[in-house]
């Protein structure tokens, strides 16, 4: 989480300033988006390993990333058939 929050901290701080202009804010959004995309494409496995290690150390259940993921708020019949890995890497980082 530290690396994700670190990537978004500058943007968060800038957007809270009253004197922020829209052009600079849009630039910071693009930089943040690019950093998160880079993490998604190049560092996701390392992040997943760190999270799994933390969970094991603190007796937190780690789902099998190959098992089916079903959103809690959706009907099981209508839910898309995706894995925990796809949900974590693909859906959470998606541009929707």
Domain limits, the chain: 1-59, 63-96
Give alpha helix (H) positions in the chain. Answer: 2-16, 22-42, 44-57, 84-85
Instruction: Quote the pLDDT of residue 73.
Output: 59
> What is the widest separation between alpha-carbon atoms in the chain?
49
* Higher pLDDT pick, 89 / 6: 6
> How do strand 68-69 and strand 82-83 relate by DSSP bridges?
antiparallel
pLDDT in tens, 12-71: 988 898 888 889 889 999 999 998 888 878 887 888 788 889 889 999 988 777 767 766
**What three-state secondary structure class fits 82?**
strand
Please say if the pLDDT value at position 83 is more than 80: no
């Amino acid at each position: 989480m530290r690396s994700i929050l670190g990537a978004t901290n500058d943007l968060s701080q800038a957007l809270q300033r009253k004197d922020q202009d829209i052009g600079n804010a849009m630039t910071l959004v693009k930089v943040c988006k690019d950093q998160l995309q880079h993490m998604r494409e190049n560092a996701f496995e390392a992040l997943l390993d760190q999270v799994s290690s933390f969970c094991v150390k603190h007796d937190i259940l780690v789902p099998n990333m190959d098992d089916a993921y079903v959103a809690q708020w959706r009907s099981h019949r209508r839910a898309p058939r995706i894995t925990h890995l796809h949900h974590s890497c693909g859906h959470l980082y998606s541009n929707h």
